[in-house]
A and B are shown apart, each in its own frame.
Chain A
Amino acid sequence: MLGNETVASRPVESVLSTNKVIRSTYQLLSMTLLFSGLMTWLSIAMNASAGMGLVATFAGIAVLWFVLPRTANSAAGIPTIFAFTGLLGFGLGPTVAFYLALNPNIVMTALGGTGVIFLGLSGYALTTRKDFSFMAGFLMVGMFVIIAASLLNLFLGISALYLTVNAAVIMIMSGFILYETSSIIHGGERNYIMAAASLYLSILNLFTALLQLLGALGDD
């Protein structure tokens, strides 16, 4: 009897644990997005230069790579993720300020579009409960090619390549949102701080790429 109860209760415990990770991830994600938005606003209000933005982005990525993995399993993970998202939010300020000066509608459309894409893809992964773990290799190769192409275009400055890279970022980040959400559902990611950090990065990259694509293809 006791053995049967243990076997029967295991999936229930697993489902409860998964639901707890999903809830905690989305709560932390919404708070970090709000904080990041606040830091972007601060950066715009301070009239931060592109150089300051780049330094903040460097610092944010350093926190993500070297500090967050060491603190994600402790209480120190919470201030670390806020530091990382705050720095990247501040780093985004000069780009957003540029497009706000060009046409504020583009920024609002990119923001709304990012929200719709994220909610749609998360809803799709959560309701279908499909396992997207098979996409890991494809997404990592896609990410590598995009970064290499961006590096190349930094020196070549080809408009068509710029548009292609931004369109590819939107597709790869959409894939990452599906992959990361499915990873939380299927128990691949049990740490809600790391899960929130991954989803935050996908949303930030999606927003930036959409903003640049709409800015380049818009009338202005």
Chain B
Amino acid sequence: MDWLKIGSAVLLIAMLVYIWPQMKHALKHSPKGTSEDWKGFLIPLIAVIAFVAFLVMMVRG
């Protein structure tokens, strides 16, 4: 195994350790969204997916 792979793995593990308490805190304390709130997120998300698909088609020619 090369050093680059080991270095990347160390970085990713450090990220997981750093994020874990923040994730637990966010899950416990963030407000719950209504179906209307989630709709407000899904609309721009679908637009992003469609735009990325368009970019992929563009680079594929």
* Chain A interface residues toward B at CB < 8 A: 50-51, 54-55, 57-58, 61, 65, 103, 105-106, 109-110, 113, 116-117, 120-121, 124, 128, 130-137, 139-141, 143-144, 147-148, 150-151, 154-155, 167, 170-171, 174-175, 178, 210, 213-214, 217-219
Contact = CB atoms under 8 A, between A and B. Distances in A.
A38 B51 CA distance: 27
Contacts of A55: 7
A133 B34 CA distance: 12
Majority secondary structure, B binding face: helix
A42 to B, nearest CB: 21
A116 B50 CA distance: 13
17 contacts: A58-B7, A61-B15, A106-B59, A121-B44, A121-B48, A132-B40, A132-B41, A134-B31, A134-B32, A136-B29, A144-B23, A151-B9, A151-B16, A155-B9, A170-B48, A178-B44, A217-B56
B16 A140 contact: no
Interface of B: 3-5, 7-9, 11-16, 18-20, 22-23, 26-27, 29-33, 37, 40-41, 44-45, 47-49, 51-52, 55-56, 58-61
Contacts, number: 119
B11 A174 contact: no
B7 A51 contact: yes
Contacts of B16: 144, 147-148, 151
